[in-house]
Each structure stands twice: as C-alpha cells, then as structure tokens.
Amino acid sequence: MISILEVPKKYLNTMAAGISLKELALELKLAPSTVSRALNDSYEISEETKKKVIRMAEKLNYHPNQFARSLRENKSKTIAVIIPERINNFFAQVMDGIEEIAQEQGYHLLVYNTHEDVDREKKIVNLLLNGRADAVVMSVSSQTSDISHLQKLYERGLPLLFFDRICAEIPTTKFITNDYESAYDGTKHLIQQGCKKIAFLMISKELSITKERYRGYLDAINEAGLTAEPTMSLNCCMSEEENIKLISDMLWSDNRPDGIMASVEKLALATYQAVKRTKIRIPEDLKIISFSNTAIAGLLNPSLTTITQPALTIGQECAKLLIGKLTKPKHYDLINQVITIPSKITIRSSTVAE
C-alpha cells in the first residue's frame, strides 16, 4: 500500500481526480511518450522502467484519459447494443454477457431501446452512422420489415452482429438459439401430457424467431395427427392489458385450448393473469410452456415450464467476436454465418401435475 507520506506535497490536492500524463512524466523526469509506452507495456521500454512508471502512477493516482486516447486513435471504445425492449429478461442477460467481456477489454456499452418501434430503430441507426460507436450488436424490432437502414449501416463498414431476432439478408454473423427444435420439443411435451388443442401465442409473425418457433409448433402438431386450427394461432401485441383480454377471450370460448405454447415470456405471464379471471386450473385444465429467461419461473403458482435461452453465453460470444474484430481486424472476419447455441427445457408444474 502507498503511504500518503510518499506522495509529493504538490499533488496532494489533486489525488481524488488524479494527475495528467505530462505531470506524471515530469515527476519521473521522463518524456511523456516514454511514460505512455511504458504504461502500454511496449517492447521498446525496459522492464525496470515499466515498473518504475507503474509504481509512480499508482502513487500519484494516475488514470489514462480514455476520451483523449479515443480522439487520437479515432475510436470511441464503445459498442452500441440495440434491443427491442428492456423488461424482457433475455435481453437483460444478453447485455450482461456483452458487458462482462467488453469491460475486460476497456470497452463500454451504449444501449438503445427501440421499444419495438421501427421508426425509433431507424433514428438510432442514423445516430450510429455518425460514428458514436466502434461496433454494433442488435436484435431487430417486431416491426422491422424494410431493412434499408440496416443495409446502410452494414455498407458503412461498421462491424455489425445480430442476435436472436436476426436480419438474414445482411451478410454478417448472427447468434441464435435452436428455436425450431425447442418449439417442436415443447409442443411435443404438451402432446405427451395429453393436450389435443394447443394454442400458439406470438407477438409478430414477421420476426425470424416467431417463424422458426411457429414452424416447430406446426410440425409437432401435424406429426401427432392433430389439427392446427386457425383460431389456435393468436397474434398478440405490446399492450399487457390487451394481451390479457385476447387470451381471456380465447379461454372463455367454446373452442378453448387445453395447452399453450407461448413464444415469448410476456405472453405466458399474461396467460396466468387471464386464467385468474376464469375457473380454469393449471395444469389440470390448461398446460402452459413458454420461451422464458425469467428468474421467477419456479416461483409462479404453479411453477412455469420454460424453454430457457442461453442469453448470457450469446452476449459473451457476440462481445468476443466484436472485440476480436476491433482489436485484431486482420485475424477476425464477421463472415455470413448463423451460430446456434441450444436452449434448455425445464419441466415444472404448469405442464405436469405434482
């Protein structure tokens, strides 16, 4: 530990804020360029000098000016993350994964929330075209069909990755989970538990994840010799109250389902709320499975059977690839590929009676 008595008196008043590189160099009687190279572990500087510089930097509370460095290197040391909503646990966990790796490498995140609004998404992309970030990782909004703004971002040469809700037309790396297989297995589980009329709840038919999950659901239904009735495919919205009403109407109908596959967790939670307005029992009368990363799935009454996506891992892998591209551009390419990281099904009381 450095004693306060070791610190030169002229620097005592600036200890909280730290000192500049020039002041550090003056105290060491070295050129600022030599001090800078020593702090950056340059091979041009001897180990003895490096140790001397580091010790003095610690003593005088020196911290590098990242903003000034960014200006010199023409880099912001920032990764922009564009997500469709903050309240979804999946996106929160992906951000945790990206941040964990990014911070280790001296990068920080600039997080934008589109609120499922494509116009807001376009405005965010236009901001990023002006150089606010060194790279972009994003999941598109449920309204995104025209991708001209994303094409423009890609053509600008900014490193760009997609995760979960991907844009297949942009030739870059995308990280997804096995949506088709997970929905197929989840629907098959409901069938094995005796369900004959299984509803599929979705937010947007246009999303890549919805298409894959719906395809898995349909294949499981058809292979079991059941009928995929049009009324069993419920297209919901962003409003919680409206979703509760839509699901309630389905549950009150004469042709109500005995099983539900929710493609996103907010629709599973809306289903629980809708069930409270009826005399339907879970799982005796209605069995529910959902794609969900919520930590409270096991605390719901009854506990919710979930298909959990590897959100943290997806975030970490996105960050590793982007950091590699930013720091060693000749060794890392964001090639046109889809990387799949499998989800996990956890069976709980909403589909199996205890």
Of 135, 37, 40, give the one whose Cα is nearest residue 82: 135
**DSSP secondary structure, 211-274, as one string:** HHHHHHHHHHHHHTT----GGGEEE--S-HHHHHHHHHHHHHSTT--SEEEESSHHHHHHHHHH
CB 347 within 8 A of CB 189: yes
Is the fold of 73-177+311-341 the same as that of 179-309+345-351? yes
Whether the bond into 283 is cis, omega within 30 of 0: yes
Predicted confidence band at 201 (pLDDT cuts at 50, 70, 90)?
very high
9-64 CATH fold: 434 Repressor (Amino-terminal Domain) (1.10.260)
Q: What is the pLDDT of residues 134-193, one digit of tens each?
A: 999 999 998 898 999 999 999 988 899 999 999 999 999 999 999 999 999 999 999 999
The rounded Cα 299 to chain-centroid distance in angstroms is 24
Q: What is the pLDDT of residues 25-83, one digit of tens each?
A: 888 999 888 888 888 777 788 889 988 988 888 888 776 654 445 434 446 689 999 99
Look up the pTM and report it: 0.76
Per-residue tokens: 338: 């889809």
Judged by DSSP in three states, 76 sits in coil
State the fold for domain 73-177+311-341: Rossmann fold (3.40.50)
Residue carrying the six token digits 């389902």: 257
In the chain, domain spans: 9-64, 73-177+311-341, 179-309+345-351
- Residue with tokens 């809708």, as numbered in its chain: 274
Domain 179-309+345-351, what fold? Rossmann fold (3.40.50)
CA dist 314 and 335 (Å) reads 17
Give Cα separations from 105 to 109, 112, 316 (angstroms). 12, 21, 12
